[in-house]
Amino acid sequence: MGRRLSGKIVIATHNAGKLREMRELLAPYGIEAVSAGELGLGEPDETASDFAGNALIKAQSAAKAANLPAFADDSGLCVEALGGAPGILSARWAGEAKDFYAAMDRIRREVEATGAKKPWRAYFISALALCWPDGHVEQFEGRVDGDLVFPPMGTAGFGYDPCFRPDGHERTFGEMTAEEKHGIPADGSRALSHRARAFQALARGCLA
Ligand code: IMP
C-alpha cells in the first residue's frame, strides 16, 4: 500500500480531454482535481527516455509549483517489429496537424518494410506518477497487448485506436465505446485499456 491520496490535487495536463477523464475517475474518491492549465503552471520539457520518466517530470514540476500533490500521465503505442516505436514519440508521429491516419499509415509502411510476419504485435502503455510537495513519489503502469489492424477500423476513440485490436477481442479500440475501452469494472475484475489498468493499480495503491 502506497501513501494515501486525499483532498485536492493538481492534474499536470493542459489537455482538456485528459482532465475530464481524470476528474471523472477521481470524483468517486472525494478528490478534487484542478489542472495545471487552470493554475497557470508551465509545461516542462519531456526529456526522459521512457513513459515513466516523462510522467515523473510532469508530476514533480507541478507538485513543486503548486505546493499540492500532483498527478501526471504519459502514454503511447509501442510496435514490436519497430523496436517499440513510436513509443514516447506517439504524439509526435501525428505531426503538427495531429493526423493519426498518417501516423498509422507510417506504422504500416515501416512494419511492412521490416518483412515482419503477421500478426503484427503492439501494446499501449500508460505510466502514472503521483508526487507530493515533500518529494514523495508513487508510480504505476498499465499495459494492454494486441494486434495491429490495417486498414484501421472504427471511428470511436482517438489517436491510434482504430488500428489496435486488444487480445481476446474481435473489435479494435476504434470500434468500442469509451465505457468498454476505459471502464473500470465494478466487480473488481481487470479493466481493458492501459489507462484504466494503470488507474486500477493507482486506486488500489493510493485511494483504497
Ligand atoms: P501523451 O500521453 O499525451 O503524451 O500522448 C501519447 C500519444 O499516444 C497520443 O498521441 C495518443 O494519441 C497516443 N495514445 C495514448 N493512449 C492512447 C489510446 O488509448 N488510444 C489511442 N492512442 C493513444
Mean pLDDT score, 100-124: 98
Mean pLDDT score, 87-115: 97
Residue 2 within any structural domain of the chain: no
Cβ neighbour number for residue 127 with a 10 Å cutoff? 25
As given in the structure block, the three cell numbers for residue 8 are 485536492
The whole domain housing 148 covers 8-206
How far apart are the C-alpha atoms of 95 and 75, rounded to whole Å?
16
DSSP H helical segments within 45-173, as ranges? 51-66, 100-114
Q: How many domains does the chain have?
A: 1
Residues above pLDDT 90, as percent of the chain: 77
Pocket of ligand 1 (CB under 6 A): 74-77, 90-91, 94, 124, 157-161, 173, 193
Q: Is 74 a catalytic residue?
A: yes
Instruction: Using the mean position of ligand 1's atoms as its centre, give its distance from the Cα of residue 173 in Å.
Output: 12
CATH number of the domain encompassing residue 56: 3.90.950.10
pLDDT digits (tens, 9 = 90+) for 6-34: 888 999 988 887 788 788 888 888 898 99
pLDDT digits (tens, 9 = 90+) for 180-195: 998 888 898 999 999 9
Rounded to two decimals, the pTM is 0.93
Mean pLDDT score, 80-89: 98
